[in-house]
Structure 1
Amino acid sequence: MIDPTSNIGAVLKRVRFQRDLTLEDTSNLTGVSKAMLGQIERGESNPTISTLWKISTGLRISFSELLGSETYNYDPISINDLEPVFELEEKMILYNVFPYNPISGFEYFYIRLLPGAKHVSMPHNNSTEEYIVVTQGTLVQTVEDQSFELSAPAALAFKSNKHHTYSNPYDTEVVFQNIVKY
């Protein structure tokens, strides 16, 4: 059986060089000492899981990538094959395309608003921003006391720790993408 930690040093060094980071820069980002990072890169230390988490979190790479075991599975997703969530008397149809992942730090929704739909969202205290991309129709997006009419193609980013509303007061369907960043 191959030791999964055998590639950690090489991966750490590769990521550091790709980002033009010194050991000191990497130490500041991860909270792991320069000496320990150097030992890991040279294969002289077998780091604890806690240390690996600090490194992967600080460098914003997946834990599995750090272990050198990152595999990519490219499976296309058909929105029509996903189970929708219906709200507002079935006038808001939400598809959770990419559910929240703590490594990526976001979730991605494909949303359809039928004519007359209005969804009021309470502040999300655990998220930092939302990104809206309207691809069909006209979305009326309200954030606190500001209202925006977003006609496709259009986009808006806002802090989601405020009251916000998505509405379609028009006679045609609205389709938009919603990314919530945590």
Structure 2
Amino acid sequence: MNDPTSNIGSVLKRVRFERRLTLEEASKLTEVSKAMLGQIERGESNPTISILWKISTGLKISFSEILGSETNNFEAISIDSIKPVYESDGKMILYDVFPFNPISGFEYFYIKLLPGAKHISTPHQNSAEEYVVVTKGTVVITVEEQTFELTAPSALKFKANREHSYSNPYDIEAVFQNIVKY
């Protein structure tokens, strides 16, 4: 297994150079001393998790990127090749395009609502927000007592720790993208 800290220095140096930041400027942004940043870049210091969080937060890069676990690999996904999950008497067809990943902190679904579909979702206690983007038709979303009728193209963001539902009371299929952020 590769040591995830082995690339930290080169990632830090690359990001700093791409942004044309001096060590002093990077130090101000990250609240990590200039000397420590220099040692990390040269591979002379193995930073703590706390230092890594300061660097990733200050430079506005993901924690996985600072660890060098971001890759340049690309994966093209055909939605039709994903085995769907059928809910609500088969009228809600859910494709888990990007399953939950603890590094990214989200999962992404492509969802079709056939005419007459209604799905009630219990509150997600471990998630912070849901983002819904309607790309075809009209989706009616109810969050607690509030109802939103979203006709494509439109979007809604809400706290996912509340009871919510999705429905399609119309005669044409509706499609929406759903991101659940944890």
1:26 paired to 2:30: yes
Name the residue aligned to 1:143. 143
Amino acid at match of 2:29: D
For 1:108, what is the secondary structure of its paired residue?
strand
Deviations 1:81-132 (A, max 9, x none): 0010011111111000011112222111000111111111111121111111
Amino acid at match of 1:170: Y
Partners of 1:78 and 1:56 in 2: how far apart?
Answer: 36
Cα displacement (A) at 1:165: 0.8
| Residues 1:8 and 1:73: Cα distance change in structure 2 (over 3 Å) | same
| Residues 1:114 and 1:154: Cα distance change in structure 2 (over 3 Å) | same
For 1:178, what is the secondary structure of its paired residue?
strand
Partners of 1:13 and 1:98 in 2: how far apart?
Answer: 30
For 2:115, what is the secondary structure of its paired residue?
coil
Cα displacement (A) at 1:69: 6.0
Report if the CA contact (8 A) 2:52-2:66 is conserved: no
Cα displacement (A) at 1:147: 0.6
Name the residue aligned to 2:121. 121
Name the residue aligned to 2:86. 86
Name the residue aligned to 1:173. 173
Report if the CA contact (8 A) 1:23-1:38 is conserved: no
Cα RMSD (Å): 2.8
Report if the CA contact (8 A) 1:137-1:174 is conserved: yes
Paired-residue identity, %: 66
| Residues 1:3 and 1:96: Cα distance change in structure 2 (over 3 Å) | closer
Taking structure 2 as the reference length, what is the TM-score of the superposition? Answer: 0.80
Aligned residues: 175
Cα displacement (A) at 1:19: 9.0
Cα displacement (A) at 1:24: 4.1
Partners of 1:123 and 1:145 in 2: how far apart?
Answer: 14
1:103 paired to 2:103: yes
Report if the CA contact (8 A) 2:135-2:153 is conserved: yes
